[in-house]
Structure 1
C-alpha cells in the first residue's frame, strides 16, 4: 500500500484530490489518503443540499458546503476530524464497508479504543458514532472514505446540519449530539491530531515502513483545475431544483429516498430523486425515463422494475419505490 500525503485544509481541493487519484492515477498498489477540512458540510452525491444544511448557521460561521461523489448523508468536518480514503483495484461493485473499516477498527484497538462497525455505514464506540463511511466504484477501482472524529466540535456537528426527524426515530435517539462521540474521550491519555495521525499510519501499515507517493506538478495542476471547474461551482454543490408540485420521502433499508415531481395535465414534466442511499449508477438516466410518462401507477410500474431499482438504490423493492410516487 502507498500513502499519498495531502496537507491541504481546503475541502474543494481535497475532494478534487480524491477524485483525481481515483480516476487518473494508474497505481499498481492500493493507496491511502489522510486529510482534513476546515469547517465544512460535505453533502452526499444524491442529497438536496438546501434541505441538508442549517443555512443560517452556515452563513454565520462561514462554513464551506461541498458535494462529494459518493452517496450517503451529509457530514460536518472541522480540524478536529481526520478523513481517511482507501483506493483499491477490484472488479466487485457490491458495497462492502466492513472490509475497509476493519483495518481502522484494528488500528483503534491498538490505541486502546474498542470500536465496532454498526448499521449501514457507521463506526461506533459504546453505541455512539464517530465515523461515517461511503464508497464509490469507478473504472475498476473502489474508493472508500470515512470520517474519524478525534476532537471535533460536536455542538457544531449538530448545528450545521438539518437532519430529518425520521432518521432520529430509525436510530432510536433524539438528536445528533446524543448519538455522536469523539475518539479522544475514549483514549487512555490525551493525544494531538498529529500524534493520532502518525499512530493511525503506523497501525494501518502494520508496523512496516510507510511508503509515500508524491504527486507531480502536473497532477496538482489538474487537481486545481478540477477544483475550479467542479468543486467550487454552484451547479455541483447545490444544483438545479425545479418548482416541484409533488414530494414524498421515506426511509427504507437502503436509506432515505425522496421523489420530487412536477406534474402538468397528468404528465410528469420533471423528476428528481434525492436521499442518503448509496449508488454507483447515474440517477439522471432513470429520471429521464420517467419524464414524459403519464402519472399513473400502471405506466410507472413499467419503469420501476425489480432488479433495476435495486441497481440504482440498493436494498429496496420496486413496490416500495413505486409507493413514493403517490400520496
Structure 2
C-alpha cells in the first residue's frame, strides 16, 4: 500500500492549504485538498482534486498549477489561496518543496569585514548551503570603508560619478545578484543575506519569493512601529517612502542568495555625488529628487542601528528556531581567494563597461 503523504502551505497574507495524497506508479493518487480558504462553488474542490489525481509526481509546481487552473469552472472564485498555492502544498507533500521549519537555521551576527569580502562571502556561502555543507543561514553584514556595491548587470560608467568616487574614497565592488547600486558607509544602512536551498521557494513566482523570504523582517519592523510593505518587484517601503531593496541569485547547485539593504541614516548629499541617479530611474517612483527616496530607519523607529539589528535577529530566531553561528576559517579563506581572483579584479568590476 502506498504511504500517505501530507503537505501544508500558508499563503503569505492568505489562508492555509493542505494536501493529503499518495503516489502510485509514479502518479498522484487519492488527492484531497483542504484548508481554511474560501472557494465558490463548492463543487470546484472536486474539480481540483480530480485535476491532480493521476498526474506525474515529477511535475514541477508550475505544471501542477496549470492543471488546477485548467480544471476550474469559469465562475470559480478562489479567496485566500490560488492554484499556485495548491501546487506548492502538493510539492511539499512530495518533499520536493520545503518550509522554514524543515531546516536548521543559523544566524551570523554583524562582523566588520572589507566590502569585497562581504560580496565574496555571498557567493561562497550560497554554494556551501546548496552543497549541503552549511545550514541555511542569515548573515548580517558590517564594514568600515565607504563603498558602493553595484548589481551584476550594471555598468560602472553609467552608475557612478568618478569625481564623487575619488572625492570620498569610495570602494566599488560588483556583486553576483542583479538589482541596483547600494551606497554604504559604516553605520548608515542595514544589510543582510539569506543563504537557502531553492526548495524553500519551490513553486513561488520570483515576485512572491521576495515577499515570502522577507516576511520575518516586515514583522520585525512592525514590532518597532514601522509599517513596511513590498512594492514589486524588490523595493521595501513605508508610507513615508522607500527604505530598502532586495536582490536574488540562484545557483545551479540548488543554493540561493537573497539579500537586502535598508537605509538607516544615509548622507543623501554624498550619495547623489557618488551615484548617477537619473530622471529615468526616478520616473516611476513618484518623486522628483533622489534625496527624497532615502527615508532612514533611524527617523522612523527612533532606535539605534544596533537595537534594530538586535530586534531583527531576535525575530528571525524566534520564528525559525535559528541558532547563533560564525564564519569558519575555511569560508573566510575561500572568500579572500575569490576577492583576489575575481571580486577585486578589473575584469569583474568592469565586465559591463
TM-score by length of 2: 0.63
Find the counterpart in structure 2 of residue 236 from structure 1: 348
Match status 1:72 vs 2:179: yes
CA distance in 2, matches of 1:205, 1:163: 37
Find the counterpart in structure 2 of residue 108 from structure 1: 221
Could you tell me whether the CA contact under 8 Å between 1:101 and 1:117 is conserved in 2?
no
Find the counterpart in structure 1 of residue 150 from structure 2: 43
Secondary structure at the counterpart of residue 56 of structure 1: helix
Q: Which of 110, 116, 122 pairs up with 1:12?
A: 116
Give 1:94 deviation, angstroms: 4.4
Q: Measured at CA, do residues 90 and 209 of structure 1 come closer, stay the same or move farther in structure 2, by a change above 3 Å?
A: closer
Structure 2: any 5+ residue segments left out of the alignment?
1-104
Secondary structure at the counterpart of residue 216 of structure 2: helix
Map residues 1-327 of structure 1 onto 2, 5 A cutoff: 1-25=105-129, 26-27=132-133, 29-37=135-143, 38-79=145-186, 80-91=188-199, 92=202, 94-95=205-206, 96-138=209-251, 139-187=253-301, 189=302, 191-206=303-318, 210-239=322-351, 241=353
Q: Measured at CA, do residues 174 and 31 of structure 1 come closer, stay the same or move farther in structure 2, by a change above 3 Å?
A: same
Give 4+ residue runs of structure 1 displaced > 3 Å after superposition: 91-94, 207-210
CA distance in 2, matches of 1:182, 1:192: 11
Secondary structure at the counterpart of residue 4 of structure 1: strand
Q: Measured at CA, do residues 102 and 207 of structure 1 come closer, stay the same or move farther in structure 2, by a change above 3 Å?
A: closer
Q: Measured at CA, do residues 169 and 216 of structure 1 come closer, stay the same or move farther in structure 2, by a change above 3 Å?
A: closer
Structure 1: any 5+ residue segments left out of the alignment?
242-327
Could you tell me whether the CA contact under 8 Å between 2:151 and 2:175 is conserved in 1?
yes
CA distance in 2, matches of 1:50, 1:3: 36
Give a deviation string over 1:37-62, Cα, whole Å, max 9, x none: 33211111011111101110110000
Aligned-CA RMSD value: 2.0
Could you tell me whether the CA contact under 8 Å between 2:138 and 2:192 is conserved in 1?
yes
CA distance in 1, matches of 2:158, 2:344: 19
TM-score by length of 1: 0.68
Q: Which region of structure 1 is more displaced relative to structure 2, 173-182 or 214-223?
A: 214-223
Give a deviation string over 1:172-207, Cα, whole Å, max 9, x none: 3212111220011111x3x32222211110112227
Could you tell me whether the CA contact under 8 Å between 2:216 and 2:319 is conserved in 1?
no
CA distance in 1, matches of 2:225, 2:124: 35
Give 1:215 deviation, angstroms: 3.0
Secondary structure at the counterpart of residue 250 of structure 2: strand
Give 1:102 deviation, angstroms: 1.7
The number of equivalent residue pairs is: 239
Could you tell me whether the CA contact under 8 Å between 1:201 and 1:210 is conserved in 2?
no
Could you tell me whether the CA contact under 8 Å between 1:87 and 1:141 is conserved in 2?
yes
Could you tell me whether the CA contact under 8 Å between 2:150 and 2:181 is conserved in 1?
yes
- Between Structure 1 and Structure 2, whose CA radius of gyration is higher? 2
